[in-house]
């Protein structure tokens, strides 16, 4: 379309934007089991207002915006305390889990090049590790060595160790991994990395907040953070279970020396010294300020309450799926993610079930192999599981009666 010849009024612009959203999933009502997270109207409104106040401040240069230097230091400090990073821990805010993972891959490549002269680097990671690691390898020229997971969907440390060679610069574990919601054996993976003195990154984008507070609530959580020797970096998304505005993640390194391999600096142009901590140059301060605001508003008590609510809803949903004969839970969730498929895939197409649920207003991720539906359960779903389960039952009956089929769809799109 062409730009309007005469500008539209403020009300006309906002009216058109509202109309565009008419068919979006109603995530504020708890109808999305992916992509969006809701800690309540008050928290959402605070995040939006903090974002508005800092939306045009630019984190490219915090000499001009010292407020954003303070914001980043405070947020990274809070996350570091959750991760048991200690006084030596050092990190940066990024725009999301993908950028955090990209920076972990880049830092591992640079360390391998600087310390061991590695020119053909590779990453050893389980098949369950996030797709962003593939993106990082593609962007930065590393070989991705995917290793099959065990029957319990967790990484296989012995098989990973066999894949390591002199060109390996990074081993990866997840806490939890996204597809089935279980925590990899981080202690064993990190020990392999420590023995060979290479980086070990823990992708805790989904679990960094949740696992911290589940442990505080008395749940038995496998070791996963900097308390594990050999872990060199961890990514934590705040716009997921931190319930902040989109565009806020943290990558934390065990030390400033390890963090230094993430950064980029140059003076090889006519514009003077240029330094950058991540992929972006110009970066809005909006998401950073929203993260600071929500962290300080919720506080420790708020995150304990929200984590308890999310886990309560997740356990209720897992119990309901286990009690549904046509469905099979892939694994009992260790955090607040779960995945399920059909007990008999020849009789029931779960992607068709997802279509039927979407017609009823519920949006779930579709994934595979094997064909599965995935639910990221957060605090907004507490008290809404009964309604979802009723519609899930109706959707299963509809698909069985019609013998309908569906498409897998996509986790992310390029349009």
Which H, E and C letters describe the chain, residue by residue? CCCCCCCCCHHHHHHHHHHHHHHCCCHHHCCECCCCCCCCHHHHHHHHHHHHHHCCCECCCCCCCHHHHHHHHHHHHHHHHHCCCCCCCEEEEECCHHHHHHHHHHHHHHHHHHHHCCCCCEEEEECCCCHHHHHHHHHHCCEEEEECCCCCCCCCHHHHHHHCCCCEEEEEEECCCCCCCCCCCHHHHHHHHHHHCCEEEEECCCCHHHHHHHHHCCCCCCCCCCCCCCCCEEEEECCCCCCCCCCCEEEEECCHHHHHCCCEEECCCCCCCEEECCCCCCCECHHHHHHHHHHHHHHHHHHHHHHHHHHHHHHHHHHHHHCCCCEEECCCCCCCEEEEEECCCCCCCHHHHHHHHHHCCCECEEECCCCEEEEECCHHHCCCHHHHHHHHHHHHHHHHHHCCCCCCCCCCCCC
pLDDT digits (tens, 9 = 90+) for 139-176: 999 999 999 999 999 999 999 999 999 999 999 999 99
The two structure tokens encoding residue 364: 């779930």
Q: What is the pLDDT of residue 414?
A: 57
User: Which of 353-379 are b and which e, b meaning 16 or more Cβ less than 10 Å from the residue's Cβ?
Assistant: bbbbbbeeebbbbbbeeebbbbbbbbb
Q: What is the pLDDT of residue 409?
A: 76
Which domains, and CATH codes, for the chain? 47-295 (3.40.640.10), 299-401 (3.90.1150.10)
Q: In what order do the strands lie in the sheet with 337-342?
A: 327-329, 337-342, 372-376, 365-367
pLDDT digits (tens, 9 = 90+) for 60-94: 999 999 999 999 999 999 999 999 999 999 999 99
pLDDT digits (tens, 9 = 90+) for 344-388: 999 999 999 999 999 999 999 999 999 999 999 999 999 999 999
Q: How confident is the model at residue 181 (pLDDT cuts 50, 70, 90)?
A: very high
pLDDT digits (tens, 9 = 90+) for 288-336: 999 999 999 999 999 999 999 999 999 999 999 999 999 999 999 999 9
């Amino acid at each position: 379309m062409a730009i309007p010849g005469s500008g539209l009024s403020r009300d006309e612009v906002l009216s058109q934007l509202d109309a565009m959203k008419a068919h979006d999933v109603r995530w504020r009502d708890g109808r999305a089991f992916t992509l969006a997270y809701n800690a309540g109207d008050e928290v959402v409104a605070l995040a939006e207002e903090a974002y508005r106040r800092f939306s045009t401040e630019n984190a490219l240069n915090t000499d001009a915006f010292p407020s954003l230097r303070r914001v980043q230091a405070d947020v990274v400090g809070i996350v570091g305390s959750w991760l048991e990073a200690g006084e030596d821990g050092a990190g940066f805010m990024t725009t999301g889990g993908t950028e955090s993972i990209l920076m972990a891959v880049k830092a591992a490549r640079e360390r391998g090049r600087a310390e061991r002269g590695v020119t053909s680097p590779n990453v050893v990671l389980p098949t369950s590790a996030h797709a962003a690691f593939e993106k990082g390898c593609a962007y930065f020229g590393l070989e991705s060595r995917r290793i099959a997971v065990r029957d319990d969907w967790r990484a296989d440390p012995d098989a990973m160790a066999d894949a390591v060679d002199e060109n390996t610069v990074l081993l990866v574990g997840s806490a939890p991994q996204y597809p089935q919601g279980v925590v990899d054996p981080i202690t064993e993976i990190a020990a392999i990395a420590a023995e060979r003195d290479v980086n070990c990154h823990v992708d805790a984008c989904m679990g960094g907040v949740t696992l911290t507070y589940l442990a505080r609530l008395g749940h038995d959580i496998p070791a996963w953070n900097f308390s594990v020797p050999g872990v060199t970096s961890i990514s934590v998304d705040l716009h997921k279970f931190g319930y902040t505005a989109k565009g806020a993640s943290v990558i934390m390194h065990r030390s400033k020396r390890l963090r230094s391999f993430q950064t980029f600096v140059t003076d090889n142009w006519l514009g003077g010294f240029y330094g950058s901590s991540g992929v972006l140059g110009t970066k809005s301060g909006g998401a950073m300020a929203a993260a600071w605001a929500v962290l300080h508003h919720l506080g420790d008590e708020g995150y304990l309450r929200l984590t308890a609510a999310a886990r309560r809803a997740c356990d209720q949903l897992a119990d309901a799926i286990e009690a549904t004969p046509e469905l099979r839970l892939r694994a009992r969730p260790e955090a607040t993610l779960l995945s399920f498929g059909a007990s008999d895939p020849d009789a029931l197409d779960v992607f068709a079930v997802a279509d039927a649920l979407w017609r009823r207003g519920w949006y779930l991720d579709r994934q595979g192999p094997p064909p599965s539906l995935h639910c990221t359960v957060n605090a907004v779903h507490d008290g809404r599981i009964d309604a979802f389960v009723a519609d899930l039952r109706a959707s299963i009956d509809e698909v069985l009666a019609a013998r309908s089929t569906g498409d897998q769809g996509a986790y992310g799109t390029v349009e």
